[in-house]
Amino acid sequence: MTAEREVLDRLVSIETKLDISISRVDDHETRLRRLERAVWVAAGAAAAGGGVVGSIAQQFFTA
């Protein structure tokens, strides 16, 4: 095997690994965005639920 062929084979291997890494990073970014969105939805639901519980508790204890 010539040195030129070895370099070409190595370059193809690097390119393949790079393509795989890029697709994994894109998938990772998508999963992170989904999780961040879920955290904000949960925080909003907790705030709304806390407001409702506080309002009910206020009516219960002041009546």
pLDDT in tens, 16-63: 999 888 888 778 888 899 999 999 999 999 999 999 999 999 998 886
Q: How far is 17 from 36, CA to CA, in rounded Å?
A: 28
Return the pLDDT at 63.
66
Domain ranges of the chain: 26-63
Return the pLDDT at 26.
79
Comparing C-alpha atoms, which of 25, 48, 29, 27 is closest to residue 37? 29
Return the pLDDT at 52.
94
Q: Please indicate, yes or no, whether the overall pTM of this predicted structure exceeds 0.75.
A: no
CA distance to 10, 39, 62, per residue, from 21 (Å): 16, 27, 61
Among positive and negative, which fits the CA dihedral 32, 35, 39, 45?
Answer: positive
